[in-house]
Amino acid sequence: MPLPPATRLGPYEILSAIGTGGMGEVYRARDTRLNRTVAIKVLPEHLSDNSQVRERFEREAKAIASLSHPHICLLYDVGQQDGIDYLVIEYLEGETLAHRLRKGPLPLEQVLQYSLEISDALDTAHRHGVIHRDLKPGNIMLTKSGSKLLDFGLAKVKMARAPAGTTALPTQTTPLTGEGTILGTLQYMAPEQLEGKEADPRTDIFAFGAVLYESATGRKAFEAKSQANLIAAILEHNPPPLSTVLRTTTPVLDRVLGKCLAKNPDDRWQTATDLRDELKWITEQGEQAATERVTGRRRYAGWLVAGILFCGLLAWTSVQLDRKRPPARAVRFSVFPVEKTSLVSTYTAGPTPQVAISPDGYQLAFVASYPGSSRLIWVRALDSAVAEPLRGTEGARFPFWSPDSHFIGFFAGESSRRLTPPEGPLSQLQMHQMGAAGHGLPTVP
């Protein structure tokens, strides 16, 4: 029977009821000595005569008292009066995660923050040999200072079988809650719990994964219309990956959840330490990624503007060049060797003269030679009938022009050469000298 307001339990005065469940009734109370508000958890009357339950109640209270962590609800006192066993714990103002999730999923930043805090709290509990065994949104309080892990009513230091008559819900009534030796709330229970096997820290990690999934999506990781189907879903199926439900998540978080919710405990995160460190890394990477996204957007905008300006400049240049480019003209001409010379041909594809037209379409280069003399490159303008030999091109073959039509390249011997100023057409005097030297090089008309 619930305790009415003003009831005294030692120095504590009951103010109002907070919640009730199979493993305890919770009240808001006042510590008359320190004049502070506390929460009192009372062992239900129908279990108070069970010596095993009372022993467990006290033993677990002592174990929880050893846990000092900013995200674990503090245990202040333990007592007994008129056959009533009670625990005095920290009174928290805020709302449970279960109540908050009625409004919808949490933002990803809060999901990561609360998950990091609770995983750190679990790490502390596990290091002290305490396994929660009933981790769920209803046992996580959201306060101004962060999240708090509540209700270690089903926690065990050593996994002994629970006394008959205990139910699965310590502080509030929820659908699909089993009774008997299976302890916990079905939606968050690991497969080994459902199979009646001994729980260990990895059991809490499975429940943590289910809570994380629900916090991020607003949906329970495992749902069904009956207990049998729900148990089958937990044992045989996996929830849809977060990345298929949310646009704001990352594949890294999918990996974390996948390892939390693995059916085989050996495939899960083996310690809450590893889980916490992974979540810490994701949180840090998320902040860095956010910074990089902002920087990346700015960089992208800068390159976009630069690209637009470049394209505009390119278009303007193209228009200007089109305006300056002379109109195309058809040119017809004939190439005849200079008197007493013969054109030098290549026979790779028949007797083809070695001729090259400049890219600007104004000049012609060809290879010709006098009988008994070295071949030279001759150049003539296409609008002229006069061709002039170029000095420095003795033995030249396969002439070609530079793209700007300013230079002539050619092959001589085993190397290639380029004719550059001051080399140029032979002067009339040089041509006469070459002819006088016996090269038979006449004056070009």
Residue numbers annotated as active site? 134
Q: Measured between alpha carbons, how far is residue 157 from residues 63, 92, 195, 205 in Å? A: 7, 25, 20, 16
Residue 279 contacts residue 286 (beta carbons within 8 Å): no
Q: Measured between alpha carbons, how far is residue 141 from residues 98, 123, 225 in Å? A: 9, 18, 28
Structure tokens at 129: 């040999």
Q: CA-based angle 105:107:108, to the nearest 5? A: 110
Structure tokens at 381: 């303008």
Residue 152 contacts residue 159 (beta carbons within 8 Å): no
Nearest 5°: phi and psi at 78? -140, 140
Strands 95-96 and 84-90: unpaired
Q: How many CB atoms lie within 10 A of CB 372?
A: 8
Q: How far apart are the C-alpha atoms of 307 and 122, rounded to whole Å?
A: 53
Q: Measured between alpha carbons, how far is residue 30 from residues 33, 75, 91, 133, 438 in Å? A: 9, 15, 10, 29, 129
